[in-house]
């Protein structure tokens, strides 16, 4: 019953008007040829795939789930296999991959737009190609020439898929505890033995082969997280000529029954002496895996953006159709039995919350994607390094802020439907259930917050944050003199100075007591997230104001959404800052046995 229309206009606004991506691409040798028209054509085609092929399978996937046969094989829901076939026939897996391995060499930004739409259409399905892309990036960065030759072309074309095997029953966050063993063999390969859980797309029927990237421990490894190595373990051993050989003993022991993302096979994977090859250096597996983790964290951000957008579209459509009660200021459509519920202020609050989080999230994720393109492609090393630092700073915010917001947004979407929102066939409750995992996997949002505050901000005494703050400061100085921008610049300057003060205060307290970091991290991350959205909405409002005499209602709507954001969502920081400043005392005082 839900519908989905790719939001091409807003995507183009963000890419062409807000960030003028083409001018960035002009400075990046690999992307100099890319023009707006080419990008728009790709977006349009990607939108067709997402809305026409992937989207109709979303409720089917939720309803059917995956099934495992006694031999350990896994069947995906009806239509998933055919859609994946069309996906690889359309060349979509290769969009932003290295031409050396069959990729189309397009920017990460273009791939991000594709992923937003795929995730609006069908998050569970999108996780199959999504994790493959992460495996591609990891092997591309850390694989040996042999591994690249063996795996990359097939991952790029999508004929093979990839996974990420980290978690074990007794450890998720704390990977230092992991037990899976890797025994060196005489031929230079390794024999991998152990159990991994929560392996998304771990086994399925979409592709000929699956490349598992597995964290395991070598016999002589140091304890903890410094003794973990990374291995590539294929489902089928690959022969020297590239053909598939014997079945490797890596099998799906069972499928998890989950709250959502039913269409994705979440597997317990048993490695019983499975043959693998070392990726990167021994005991440096976590470093190699982090390439994939960072990509995955941005990927989770795109999932959440996608769900936010599709929930918004459906609840907005419902609110314009559903007749119930009269407007508080008198009947708006007196010829009808009641007014459409969009006349009610609180229904609009719920809709605009979703809309603002979709538009803010889009601006933020596309911005990062563009930074990644610069980080990976700029001819000047110092710019590559500097941009990489910005990406590192912002990645945990993308992950945690967008996933929290998407849970809020999908819940507001459900609420707009009233009782119907709770009924499966309307599709809104699936968005809530699917969105819920995003706050957990690829590092819980608490872990993201600790990464931001502890490592990225306090870890370098605020250097990266200060650099980022300069971007905002410059904008405030430039725009602060313009009267029509005052309604945006004043609160932006206010929250910027509060973040600066808060950071210093926590830094001081943390020197005395490390638990202050743990106590402040979650509200701190959300506060910085709002600083970023306030900055982005102010920039978007500036463009909207510049176009205020345009006939295009897009700019008026954008300006209104920005005003709503400053009025109703930014005030969350008033709570967050108080919570962060309240510190650790009332958290830590209670002895564990009192709980």
| Active-site residue set | 442
- Closest distance of CB 519 from its own copies, Å: 4
The answer to whether 590 contacts its own copies (rule: CB under 8 A) is yes
The answer to whether 69 contacts its own copies (rule: CB under 8 A) is no
Using the rule CB under 8 A, which residue among 247, 331, 422, 482 binds its own copies?
A: 422
Using the rule CB under 8 A, which residue among 16, 81, 159, 344 binds its own copies?
A: 344
C-alpha 319/C-alpha 324 separation (Å) is 10
Could you give the angle at the alpha carbon of 296 between the alpha carbons of 57 and 359, nearest 5°? 70
Residues 353-392 that bind its own copies (CB under 8 A): 355
Using the rule CB under 8 A, which residue among 149, 226, 501, 578 binds its own copies?
A: 578
H/E stretch holding 60: helix 58-64
What is the torsional sign of CA 108, 112, 113, 118? positive
**Residues 562/535, Cβ–Cβ less than 8 Å:** no
**Residues 42/106, Cβ–Cβ less than 8 Å:** yes
> Which of the ranges 101-109, 244-252, 285-293, 333-341 carries the binding residues for its own copies, by CB under 8 A?
333-341
List the beta bridge partners of residue 3.
none
**Residues 19/370, Cβ–Cβ less than 8 Å:** yes
Residues 36-65 that bind its own copies (CB under 8 A): none
C-alpha 582/C-alpha 572 separation (Å) is 16
> Which of the ranges 210-218, 315-323, 358-366, 377-385 carries the binding residues for its own copies, by CB under 8 A?
315-323
The answer to whether 221 contacts its own copies (rule: CB under 8 A) is no
| DSSP label of 28 | S
- State whether residue 494 is helix, strand or coil: helix
Using the rule CB under 8 A, which residue among 334, 337, 481, 483 binds its own copies?
A: 337
The answer to whether 553 contacts its own copies (rule: CB under 8 A) is yes
The answer to whether 512 contacts its own copies (rule: CB under 8 A) is no
The answer to whether 217 contacts its own copies (rule: CB under 8 A) is no
Number of residues lying near its own copies (CB under 8 A): 100
Using the rule CB under 8 A, which residue among 21, 66, 135, 437 binds its own copies?
A: 437
Q: Which residue, 129 or 427, is less far from its own copies as judged by CB? A: 427
Q: Which residue, 12 or 513, is less far from its own copies as judged by CB? A: 513
C-alpha 287/C-alpha 293 separation (Å) is 10
Number of CB atoms found within 10 A of residue 533's CB: 26
CA atoms within 13 A on the CB side of 297: 25
C-alpha 433/C-alpha 414 separation (Å) is 11
The answer to whether 522 contacts its own copies (rule: CB under 8 A) is yes
> Which of the ranges 141-149, 413-421, 464-472, 499-507 carries the binding residues for its own copies, by CB under 8 A?
413-421
Using the rule CB under 8 A, which residue among 123, 147, 167, 395 binds its own copies?
A: 167
What x-and-dash track marks residues 241-260 binding its own copies by CB under 8 A?
---------------xxxxx
Q: Scanning the structure block, which residue is given the tokens 């799906």?
A: 252
C-alpha 347/C-alpha 221 separation (Å) is 57
Residues 258-297 that bind its own copies (CB under 8 A): 258-260
- Closest distance of CB 530 from its own copies, Å: 11
Q: Scanning the structure block, which residue is given the tokens 């610049």?
A: 489
List the beta bridge partners of residue 268.
254
- Closest distance of CB 171 from its own copies, Å: 7
């Amino acid at each position: 019953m839900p519908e989905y229309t790719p939001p091409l206009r807003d995507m183009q606004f963000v890419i062409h008007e807000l960030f003028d991506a083409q001018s960035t691409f002009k400075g990046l040798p690999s992307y100099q040829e890319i023009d707006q028209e080419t990008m728009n054509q790709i977006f349009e085609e990607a939108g067709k795939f997402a809305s026409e092929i992937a989207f109709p399978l979303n409720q089917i996937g939720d309803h059917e789930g995956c099934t495992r046969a006694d031999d350990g094989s896994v069947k995906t829901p009806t239509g998933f296999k055919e859609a994946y076939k069309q996906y690889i026939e359309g060349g979509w897996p290769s969009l932003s991959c290295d031409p050396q391995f069959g990729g189309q060499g397009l920017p990460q930004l273009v791939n991000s737009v594709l992923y937003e739409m795929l995730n609006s259409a069908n998050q569970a399905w999108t996780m199959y190609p999504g994790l493959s892309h992460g495996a591609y990036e990891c092997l591309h960065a850390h694989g040996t020439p042999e591994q690249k030759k063996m795996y990359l072309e097939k991952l790029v074309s999508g004929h093979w898929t990839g996974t990420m095997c980290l978690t074990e029953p007794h450890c998720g966050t704390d990977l230092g505890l992991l037990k899976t063993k890797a025994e060196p063999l005489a031929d230079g390969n390794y024999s991998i033995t152990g159990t991994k859980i929560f392996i998304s797309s771990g086994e399925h029927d979409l592709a000929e082969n699956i490349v598992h990237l597995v964290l395991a421990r070598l016999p002589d490894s140091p304890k903890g997280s410094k003794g973990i190595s990374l291995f590539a373990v294929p489902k089928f051993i690959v022969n020297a000529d590239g053909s598939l050989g014997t079945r490797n003993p890596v099998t799906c022991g069972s499928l998890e029954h989950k709250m959502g993302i039913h269409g994705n096979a979440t597997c317990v994977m048993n490695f019983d002496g499975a043959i693998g090859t070392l990726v990167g250096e021994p005991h440096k597996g976590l470093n190699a895996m982090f390439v994939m983790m960072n990509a995955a964290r941005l990927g989770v951000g795109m999932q959440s953006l996608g769900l936010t957008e599709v929930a918004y579209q459906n609840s907005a459509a419902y609110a314009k159709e559903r007749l119930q009660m009269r407007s508080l200021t008198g009947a708006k459509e007196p010829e009808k039995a009641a007014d459409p519920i969009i006349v009610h202020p609180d229904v609009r609050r719920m809709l605009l919350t979703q809309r603002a989080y979709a538009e803010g999230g889009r601006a933020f994720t596309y911005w990062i994607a563009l930074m990644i393109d610069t980080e990976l492609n700029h001819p000047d090393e110092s710019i590559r390094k500097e941009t990489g630092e910005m990406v590192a700073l912002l990645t945990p915010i993308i992950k945690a802020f967008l996933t929290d917001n998407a849970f809020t947004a999908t819940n507001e979407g459900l609420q707009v439907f009233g009782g119907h929102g709770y009924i499966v066939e309307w599709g809104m409750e699936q968005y809530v259930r699917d969105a819920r995992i995003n706050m957990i996997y690829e590092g819980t949002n608490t872990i993201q917050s600790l990464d931001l505050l502890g490592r990225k901000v306090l870890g370098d005494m605020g250097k990266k944050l200060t650099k980022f703050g300069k971007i905002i400061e410059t904008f405030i100085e430039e725009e602060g003199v313009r009267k029509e921008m005052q309604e945006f610049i004043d609160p932006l300057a206010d929250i910027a100075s509060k973040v600066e003060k808060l950071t210093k205060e926590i830094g001081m307290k943390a020197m005395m007591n490390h638990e202050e970091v743990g106590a402040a991290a979650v509200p701190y991350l959300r506060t910085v997230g709002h600083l970023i959205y306030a900055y982005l909405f102010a920039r978007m409002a500036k463009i909207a104001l510049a176009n205020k005499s345009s006939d295009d209602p897009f700019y008026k709507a954008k300006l209104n959404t920005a005003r709503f954001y400053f009025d109703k969502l930014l005030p969350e920081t008033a709570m967050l800052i108080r919570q962060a400043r309240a510190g650790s005392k009332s958290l830590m005082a209670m002895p564990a046995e009192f709980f």
